[in-house]
Chains A and B, each alone.
Chain A
Amino acid sequence: AQTVTQSQPEMSVQEAETVTLSCTYDTSESDYYLFWYKQPPSRQMILVIRQEAYKQQNATENRFSVNFQKAAKSFSLKISDSQLGDAAMYFCAYRSGYETSGSRLTFGEGTQLTVNP
């Protein structure tokens, strides 16, 4: 079974600064997808960014980028130019790329990000 671990329960960053959230995972599969979801106080989880394991290039979405280290099974999220609206719980998640394994998401524990003005 796959596991996802986020070792930072809480992080804080100053507005306009850069912060990196860590995520490691364990899997024996070679085909999979990794995701970062944001959960603001409104509770609705929103996809921030995703990475296909077969892609060597790190995904980027505006101020959000990942550092995907497949051999190390590491998938960190970098938020540049942090904004007050970035404050939320961030979840790392894994999904198998194999049809027979289904499409369930396996989540990490979450990292609560505070952005200080």
Chain B
Amino acid sequence: AQSVAQPEDQVNVAEGNPLTVKCTYSVSGNPYLFWYVQYPNRGLQFLLKYITGDNLVKGSYGFEAEFNKSQTSFHLKKPSALVSDSALYFCAVISRRDYKLSFGAGTTVTVRA
């Protein structure tokens, strides 16, 4: 069975500073990895994905994530955070064996002006 860990419930940064949201995973075989963002009273919005190829993937709104197979991590990063990035972020992994998507518990990001 696969699982996803987001070790930080909350991340607080100042606007303009780098933002990192951590994610580690456990899955049999090669994974597909995703990041989603959720704003209040809304569904999840897709940010980026890793399927294969380059370990550094770029996504929406200036976000990027680096796939590290040896550390089984897929941390989300943004070089310069905006107040509007304040939201709930979910990491997700899908096993290519049963194609079932598993989500982390989520990390609340607060960017202060």
A-B complex is real = no
